[in-house]
Chains A and B, each alone.
Chain A
């Protein structure tokens, strides 16, 4: 009976509640590192007490209440309670209620939103933002993060420790950014979530093509953000993009684990629920033009095509045109080349690719190879796929490119 085993319950409740507990504590103690320590202490208390006294009826509330008491106790002991109270009173003048404990009962999630903005703060390096967000909001252990990113556990540990210290040293306030900075700060939050998603969707390194657990984690964070910052269209754009991309996960690998590319996927295996959720999120971005909403609109074009030949490539090419204007990057141009190649012929696509500089991105030669093959320039195409294979750091991707090169030999 795992459901009533206290240890199992603690772990389960921790996964559900840890982000809110850390977020609530961070508001009280104004320090994410300290908040996490206090939250961990609370977990230890639960692990000691619950096997003896039984699991409380409302374990989430129990953990939250215990954690809050510990935080307030600690501040009192340090004589800093009054000072913090005043600070908070000053920092949040809109709050009527000076009672810290009552303020921590914030199920709507303002605390979580503050925590997301803090863990994705621009003073931190991108790697630190990712690690800290997965740790504090995803409730992942250092070991789990290390495993997902294929880096040694101490490295992740150091990143997290350094990140927490940086936040303290730079006196980063745990608060929502002022309205003038929301757009810029939100961009950082969305970037971190999408980075996590992408690392899961197509792993840059390692033996596996995907790490779906990271996709799920990113989706979860995105869904939370969409509820908490629902007035921001780009949040819905990102969620739409991730839901629709994730809908293809079941079709993206063959039975042997080898990658299956979009045109070859069995579209019956696409997750219809995620597509529906994605299209619904996309509808909430209507009338706005942002990079995530545009990419989601492109993904939606694919999702709506029941057969590859039904794909509206002209529409996709047009979206890429706008995307290249809103958020220019060589990768966007490369994708535009694919769309243009499909909509208006490989020669037009090749023109775009030939104007690009993407020296270490394996998909660049792969796309070029594909367009060359369609133009019948087989020898050149093979060279490009071989280049792509040599550049790739992912074993599955490498064999995919090798197979493409080999398939050209057979002609």
Chain B
């Protein structure tokens, strides 16, 4: 089953330590060598993006940044055998931030991508 992990956080004033980037690369390699990581990339701050919305029948396009407490920082797509496995990979990623970037705070949403298993026994 597939899980999409969205990382959101508040960046401290200090720049990300170089050690963190190395550790993230290493973890990415580990997840790949476990055959679990399908795709991942960092996301630019929302100032570089836009939001297309529909409310009350009205379509609107808003330029970033969006007024949100946390910016979405990256996404990762995993193929795993259980939700717990997806949570474990997300936890490892968050722990790197705790250990290597003082003051960083954030969260990872672990979202299940619907798959064939979600449609079983519906006939």
Contacts and interface: CB of A to CB of B under 8 A. Distances in A.
Interface of A: 2-3, 8-9, 11-13, 15-16, 19-20, 57-58, 60, 107-109, 112, 212-213, 216, 219-224, 227-228, 249-250, 255-256, 273, 277
Given A8-B84, A107-B29, 18 more contacts: A3-B84, A9-B84, A11-B84, A12-B85, A15-B81, A16-B85, A58-B92, A107-B30, A107-B33, A108-B29, A219-B35, A220-B35, A220-B79, A221-B35, A227-B32, A249-B116, A255-B122, A273-B39
Given A58-B95, A216-B79, A107 B26 contact: yes
Contacts of B32: 223-224, 227
A224 B29 contact: no
A9 B29 CA distance: 21
B29 A212 contact: no
B28 to A, nearest CB: 11
B82 A12 contact: yes
Given A12-B82, A15-B81, A255-B123, A212 B33 contact: no
A58 B95 CA distance: 9
Nearest to A276: B39
B44 interface: no
Contacts of A12: 82, 84-85, 87-88
29 contacts: A3-B87, A12-B84, A12-B85, A15-B81, A16-B36, A19-B34, A20-B34, A57-B95, A107-B29, A107-B30, A108-B29, A108-B33, A109-B33, A212-B116, A216-B79, A216-B81, A219-B79, A220-B34, A220-B35, A223-B32, A223-B35, A228-B33, A249-B116, A250-B116, A255-B122, A255-B123, A273-B38, A273-B77, A277-B38
Interface of B: 26, 29-30, 32-36, 38-39, 77, 79, 81-85, 87-89, 91-92, 95, 115-116, 122-123
Contacts of B95: 57-58
A13 B88 contact: yes
Contacts of B123: 255-256
Nearest to B89: A16
A125 to B, nearest CB: 25
Contacts of A249: 116
Given A9-B88, A15-B81, A255-B123, A227 B38 contact: no
Contact of A224 (B34, B85, B87, B115): B34
* Chain A, interface SS category: helix
Contacts of B77: 273
Contact of A16 (B26, B34, B79, B116): B34
Nearest to B39: A273
A221 to B, nearest CB: 7
A57 B123 CA distance: 44
Among A16, A60, A109, which residue has the most Cβ atoms of chain B within 10 A? Answer: A16
A101 B5 CA distance: 33
Contacts of A3: 84, 87, 91
A20 B26 CA distance: 15
A16 B88 contact: yes
Contacts of B116: 212, 249-250
A219 B32 CA distance: 12
A98 B116 CA distance: 49
Contact of B84 (A2, A222, A228, A250): A2
Contacts of A220: 34-36, 79
Contacts of A216: 79, 81
Contacts of B82: 12, 15
A109 to B, nearest CB: 5
A212 B89 CA distance: 23
A2 B84 CA distance: 7
